[in-house]
A and B are shown apart, each in its own frame.
Chain A
Amino acid sequence: MKKSKAFWGFLVLALVIYAVVQGMISGGMLDLYYQNILIQMCINVMLAVSLHIVIGITGQFSIGHAGFMAVGAYVSAIVTMKLGLPLIVAILLGAVISALAGLLVGIPTLRLKGDYLAIATLGFAEIIRIIFLNVDYVGGAAGMVVMNMTTWTYAFVAVVITILVIANFTNSRHGRGCISIREDEIASDAMGINTTYYKVIAFTIGAFFAGVAGAIYSHNFFIIQPTTFNFLKSFDILIYVVLGGLGSLSGSVIAAIFLTVVSAYLSNFPETRMIIYSLVLIIVMLYRPTGLMGTKEITSLFKFGKKGGSKV
């Protein structure tokens, strides 16, 4: 079956990437700075892919994704630092609590459409941030000290799982239901798709993996602060998805990797950094208004004589 072929192809690719990078790390070719960039890359890819399922697949314009990341980051930090449990438990708990937050926010807000939904989710993310800002248990504005526990292996395995789950979801009747909501909600409803259910499901899965990304993030630096998760962070994630092409999983992955590299490189020029970063975005959007990949997937580029686009 062609889908399982893509699946094994992806796994092999993932293993090769992992082996190469791991080899370079143990060979001493990648110092801590580059390892850190790689982990950052993994986190951004996870964030991009988890927002892709909400915006790209289901077509619900949510710009509060940093809120879910914050939930994952803080919950996992509490689990490791205050309760002393291992990192893997922390990641899972952070993700589950974040998914619950997604469920809680999704049920009332997903009846809103377009701009209204965007504002509601933005408001939610701000509420989360303000809560963490004012709770002394997690350090308030000064932030919370977290041990550096994330390794490249953790980050990479998490990315692979995230991509697999979201790709599997998309290529099933459930994913098609979500895409049909993006395409035409009225028609989707008339064809028997429970639109509210699928919107909430997509939102919850998105929140779950944003929570994973948050957990990995919080254990990568030595401190987490509420200001990290402000609305600019949400916009960063949104940019990955839009730049990659709405509806394209591989597009959002590529965009997240690309922009992480660009912003890491630009940190050498702190004065002009944001100017160049913005220029890159403007130029890409001018020449590729539908994003880097449009709605196509990278796999469709290799299938000659076959029309891509539908297999999101």
Chain B
Amino acid sequence: MTSNLLIKAENVGIQFGGLKAVQNVNLYLNSGELIGLIGPNGAGKTTTFNMLTGVYQPTEGTITFDGKKLNGLKPFQVTKLGISRTFQNIRLFKDLSVLDNVKVANHNLAKHSLFASIFRLPSHFAGEAKMEKESIEFLKIFGLDIYKDELAKNLPYGMQRRLEIARALAANPKLLLLDEPAAGMNPQETRELMELIAFIRKEFGLTILLIEHDMHLVMGICERIYVLDHGQLIADGTPEEIRNNPKVIEAYLGEEVID
């Protein structure tokens, strides 16, 4: 089981001033898994994501990805190693076209140098043409190729969410972190999105870690689930185990009143 271990966080924690936002988080993902991370508001889910992607440096514990230690790496270095993410509050490059949004993420797969671009050497044209072709392929998967010249800010909300995933995918990740991809979507859109996630997972051989509030959805597609509450992992296991875990029920619904 540990032979195809992709990412492992050991005793990871972070402190903001005197506040321990997250502590003693242990989690691992094997290659190809689809794992959920759930918890009430303010439990530290996004903070955990930020630590995994290098936005925050954990103040304790270690994170290893694909045999390399992530502690101390900057977000762009983490992305180059193969972790890509989306954001809870959409962070597209609003004034860039849909195509250019994807091209930015495709940046590291291209090789042409600054010098080649400024002097318009042949490698620039070859590199840019390849980027364009690959980016359009990604847009096609998400049904966004018809909007490729539209500015990202003019897309409808659901499309913006899709574009974020397309952009994250264009960075060529092994591990994809999705921060509430279905937030604000209606049930129909959510279902389509889930099918899409299942599809890209198979197509690109991805490992996915997903934060989501929609219990129904998480229980439906995730193989294992981690539950965070007050910055600590309170449970992990299969959806079935989580559903019946008293600690999880307590975190979500509160304690039973005992007279």
Which residues from chain A contact B87 at a C-beta distance below 8 Å? 186-187, 190
A180 touches B104 (CB 8 A): yes
**Does B71 have its Cβ within 8 Å of any Cβ on chain A?**
no
**What CA separation (Å) do A154 and B117 show in the bound complex?**
25
B117 touches A172 (CB 8 A): yes
**Does A228 have its Cβ within 8 Å of any Cβ on chain B?**
no
**Does A273 have its Cβ within 8 Å of any Cβ on chain B?**
no
**Does B197 have its Cβ within 8 Å of any Cβ on chain A?**
no
Interface 0/1 of A159-191, CB less than 8 Å to B: 000000100110011111101100110111111
Chain B positions 71-110 with a Cβ under 8 Å from a chain A Cβ? 74-76, 79-80, 84-85, 87, 91-97, 99-100, 103-108, 110
**What CA separation (Å) do A198 and B104 show in the bound complex?**
13
**Does A5 have its Cβ within 8 Å of any Cβ on chain B?**
no
A173 touches B112 (CB 8 A): yes
B54 CB to nearest chain A CB (Å): 8
Which residues from chain B contact A30 at a C-beta distance below 8 Å? none
B131 touches A173 (CB 8 A): yes
Chain B positions 110-136 with a Cβ under 8 Å from a chain A Cβ? 110, 112, 114, 117-120, 124-125, 127-128, 131
Q: Name the interface size band of chain B.
A: 35 or more
Which residues from chain A contact B107 at a C-beta distance below 8 Å? 173, 176-177, 191-193
Which residues from chain B contact A7 at a C-beta distance below 8 Å? 120
A189 touches B74 (CB 8 A): yes
A179 CB to nearest chain B CB (Å): 6
**Does A295 have its Cβ within 8 Å of any Cβ on chain B?**
yes
Contact of B120 among A168, A184, A187, A309 (CB under 8 A): A168
Which residues from chain A contact B93 at a C-beta distance below 8 Å? 179-180, 183-184, 187-188
B91 touches A173 (CB 8 A): no
Which residue on chain A has the smallest CB distance to residue B172? A192
**Does B55 have its Cβ within 8 Å of any Cβ on chain A?**
yes
**What CA separation (Å) do A184 and B96 show in the bound complex?**
11
Contact of B84 among A175, A190, A307 (CB under 8 A): A190
B104 touches A295 (CB 8 A): no
A194 touches B76 (CB 8 A): yes
**What CA separation (Å) do A288 and B95 show in the bound complex?**
18
- With A172-B124, A173-B112, A190-B85 as known contacts, state yes or no: A195 contacts B76, CB within 8 Å: yes
Chain A positions 275-312 with a Cβ under 8 Å from a chain B Cβ? 295, 306-307, 309-310
A173 touches B117 (CB 8 A): yes
**Does A29 have its Cβ within 8 Å of any Cβ on chain B?**
no
Q: Which of B85, B93, B100, B168 has the most CB of A within 10 A?
A: B93
A191 touches B171 (CB 8 A): yes
Which residue on chain A has the smallest CB distance to residue B173? A192
A168 touches B76 (CB 8 A): no
Chain B positions 21-76 with a Cβ under 8 Å from a chain A Cβ? 53, 55, 74-76
Which residue on chain A has the smallest CB distance to residue B97? A310
**Does B145 have its Cβ within 8 Å of any Cβ on chain A?**
no
Which residues from chain A contact B97 at a C-beta distance below 8 Å? 307, 309-310
**What CA separation (Å) do A177 and B75 show in the bound complex?**
15
**Does B223 have its Cβ within 8 Å of any Cβ on chain A?**
no
B76 touches A186 (CB 8 A): no
**What CA separation (Å) do A307 and B124 show in the bound complex?**
24
Which residues from chain B contact A180 at a C-beta distance below 8 Å? 93, 96, 104
**Does B214 have its Cβ within 8 Å of any Cβ on chain A?**
no
**Does B137 have its Cβ within 8 Å of any Cβ on chain A?**
no
Which residues from chain B contact A194 at a C-beta distance below 8 Å? 74, 76
Contact of B117 among A168, A187, A192, A307 (CB under 8 A): A168
Which residues from chain B contact A169 at a C-beta distance below 8 Å? 114, 117-118
B129 CB to nearest chain A CB (Å): 9
B114 touches A174 (CB 8 A): yes
Which residue on chain B has the smallest CB distance to residue A165? B118
**Does A83 have its Cβ within 8 Å of any Cβ on chain B?**
no
**What CA separation (Å) do A194 and B114 show in the bound complex?**
14
Chain A positions 229-252 with a Cβ under 8 Å from a chain B Cβ? 247
**What CA separation (Å) do A277 and B144 show in the bound complex?**
47
B135 CB to nearest chain A CB (Å): 11
B76 touches A176 (CB 8 A): no
**What CA separation (Å) do A168 and B119 show in the bound complex?**
8
A186 touches B103 (CB 8 A): no
Query: 20 additional contacts, CB 8 Å, given A190-B53, A190-B79?
Result: A172-B112, A173-B112, A173-B131, A176-B100, A179-B104, A180-B96, A180-B104, A184-B94, A186-B91, A187-B87, A187-B93, A188-B104, A189-B55, A189-B74, A190-B75, A190-B85, A192-B76, A192-B108, A195-B76, A307-B97
Sample 25 A-B pairs with CB under 8 A, ordered by A number. A168-B117, A169-B114, A172-B124, A173-B106, A173-B107, A173-B110, A173-B128, A176-B96, A177-B104, A183-B92, A184-B94, A188-B93, A189-B79, A190-B53, A190-B85, A190-B91, A191-B84, A191-B171, A193-B76, A193-B104, A193-B107, A307-B149, A307-B151, A309-B95, A310-B100
The 3 A-B pairs of least Cβ separation, nearest first, read: A172-B117, A310-B97, A192-B79
The chain B residues found within 8 Å of chain A, CB to CB, are: 53, 55, 74-76, 79-80, 84-85, 87, 91-97, 99-100, 103-108, 110, 112, 114, 117-120, 124-125, 127-128, 131, 149-151, 167-168, 171
